[in-house]
Amino acid sequence: MKRFVSLLLCVLLLFALAGCGEKSWKGTHHAEIVVADYGTITVELNGDTAPVTTANFLNLAKRGFYDGSSFYRVLSNFGIYGGDPNRNGTGSSGATIQGEFTANGCNNTLSNTRGAIGMARGTHYDSASCQFYILKTDATYLDGDFAVFGYVITGMDVVEAICSGVEGNGDGYVTNSNQPVITKINVLD
């Protein structure tokens, strides 16, 4: 019953957002994640395989939600986490979305391989909001449990530079003053 209620709330939220000028993003789309002092990461997003996740990310980006946020967690042998307004892994956009992955009943065949961009979430399957990760290395053991919604097409050198140049604590969390800043996410199409 909880899962049904969560799914119903997600559907209602999407209808509400659609009425407020939010856009559905089916098909393939591109965005640039501009990182101060590092460069630009360009991602190609799959709105057919992960339509809720892609729409959420792109609509937040179009509203400027990510501007001035950061990569708050860096794991040198894994990847980078960003998009949290609190810059520490606890923030939200104020809404959550359906987790588009196999364990949650969605047929998402996108894999957690090098360059994947996916939604970070809590323990609840439908707890993703705004935080995302980009993988430096393959992490296919995450397949089926996290919503991958696209891949880096240029800028893996930026991901690698952040992974090798930014130190976090034992869990990868980076002090605010050392966090690479996401200047802007530009939605290209």
pLDDT (tens digit per residue) in 17-65 = 433 346 678 999 999 999 999 999 999 999 999 999 999 999 999 999 9
Residue 3 pLDDT grade (very low, low, confident, very high; cuts 50, 70, 90)? low
Q: Which long-range contacts (CB under 8 A, 24 or more apart) does 13-18 make?
A: 13/95, 13/97, 14/52, 14/55, 17/59
CATH code for position 76: 2.40.100.10
- Provide the whole-model pTM: 0.88
Range of the domain at 117: 2-187
Q: What pLDDT does residue 7 have? A: 45
Number of domains observed in the structure of the chain: 1
